[in-house]
Structure 1
């Protein structure tokens, strides 16, 4: 759901949608927020108008992303509670410098900065290990790293355990789309699911139970094995910062580590 779709949507219907999305009854949410189920019913049906503090409380108890909290505030007739800046804005200068330092400090291993839709906002030089295997047409900005991973002209043909890796990416995106409820993520999920079906893979498959899922690549130089971590900012109070993440790749064996240090060190 984007901010543009909130127009004409009542606070009550949004609240009910998020409560059901979290699989909570009115009684469940009432107990969490110390609010009567009767009052929640009145809020959802429009018989009562919430205070600003009540909107913020319910949004917190529902663990809503900041963008969705702003939408809930607007639907209730209040101003947005959280700012939304571009990373290029002057106010974000220090944050941007810190993020760049994190990316560069991770070299000689790949690291990429992405927004809430997995569009690449920045990367270090070692990301060339992955992008060199992708059709240049998929690298025209904005570059979507999930599309570049599973597209038939992307990384997919070079992934050894593609079925398991695709299951990991699609299931992760499905969870994210469920949490954020943005139409853009649903569209991306449908796109990735289509790539899976075209490749004869089940888009509903779940990855095997492992401690860490490796990314095994048929690289022109040699087979390489990586694993990744995804880090987010702690306690962000800006919509943009709430949605960005850094995915950092690490060598999963000594051979891969030596190759990365030799090439990008």
Structure 2
């Protein structure tokens, strides 16, 4: 049997990659970490090996996500220190209770919990409005909230201000992909950016849009039968996570942007 080469990540190359991603010089990183620029250079070239404490300090200064901090530790020859538990693990019982309370308490308005790749983790009953009429293939696990938001056969076909929302979400995804180093987000961005849309006459729609400086919020203006629902969103994360799973969870809550929308949800939630 032919031998298969195993690629091992270099701590130095990973450190350099994160430093460059954060647009930080070796000198600036050295000053923040309390070491010499020469030492940072030696770490990146492999001429010096870091201690566990140094890996942790550099990762903290570069704001490296917990998942990638574990990768840095392993590349430096240490065991990962940040656990990655399933959301349903017994240790996360208090977290699940908090999430359930937030989701239920936000009724009658929609709220969802997503992971770092925007896959749906949990939702309240009101969020079911986003799934109405969506093809089964888009509801296969894992259900992706970004894909549902922009797919022509899902919310993308119901948004009356698609160009605005699409432009904002694609920029958001691109920034997240660049800052997190998560290839899944880059792939998702490219998939969503390739969607094409047609108007009611079957003509391909122009979805290019640059948000103007006078815009305050970009609402989701959703066609719902003979009504137009207007919603804006807020996103919350856990403040001091030390678990990979928790660090990658976000709660997105949807709020009515006008009284007509609020009244519609109050009626539907009765």
TM-score over 0.5 for the pair = yes
In the TM superposition, 1:1-265 aligns within 5 A as 8-195=8-195, 200-202=206-208, 206-209=210-213, 210-265=215-270
Deviation at 1:75, TM superposition (A): 0.5
- Answer yes or no: is the 8 Å Cα contact 2:152–2:196 preserved in 1: no
- Answer yes or no: is the 8 Å Cα contact 1:118–1:145 preserved in 2: yes
Deviation at 1:34, TM superposition (A): 1.8
Deviation string for 1:56-92 (max 9, x for gaps)?
0000000111001111111101111211000011111
The aligned residue for residue 3 of structure 1 is none
* Greater fraction of residues in helix: 1
| Gapped regions of structure 1 (runs ≥ 5) | 1-5
CA distance in 2, matches of 1:136, 1:160: 23
TM-score, normalisation: structure 1: 0.93
Give the greater-gyration-radius structure (CA): 2
| Gapped regions of structure 2 (runs ≥ 5) | 1-5, 198-203
Between the two proteins, the alignment pairs up a number of residues equal to 258
TM-score, normalisation: structure 2: 0.91
Deviates more, 1:206-215 or 1:53-62: 206-215
Deviates more, 1:132-141 or 1:244-253: 132-141
Specify whether residues 55 and 257 from structure 1 end up closer, same or farther in structure 2 by C-alpha distance, changes over 3 A only.
Answer: same
Deviation string for 1:178-214 (max 9, x for gaps)?
1111111111111111116985434xx6543433211
Deviation at 1:125, TM superposition (A): 0.5
CA distance in 2, matches of 1:30, 1:171: 31
The ranges of structure 1 where at least 4 consecutive aligned residues each deviate by more than 3 angstroms after the TM superposition are: 196-202, 205-209
The 3-state SS of whatever aligns with 1:156 is helix
RMSD (CA atoms): 1.6
- Answer yes or no: is the 8 Å Cα contact 1:125–1:264 preserved in 2: no
The 3-state SS of whatever aligns with 2:252 is strand
CA distance in 2, matches of 1:185, 1:196: 19
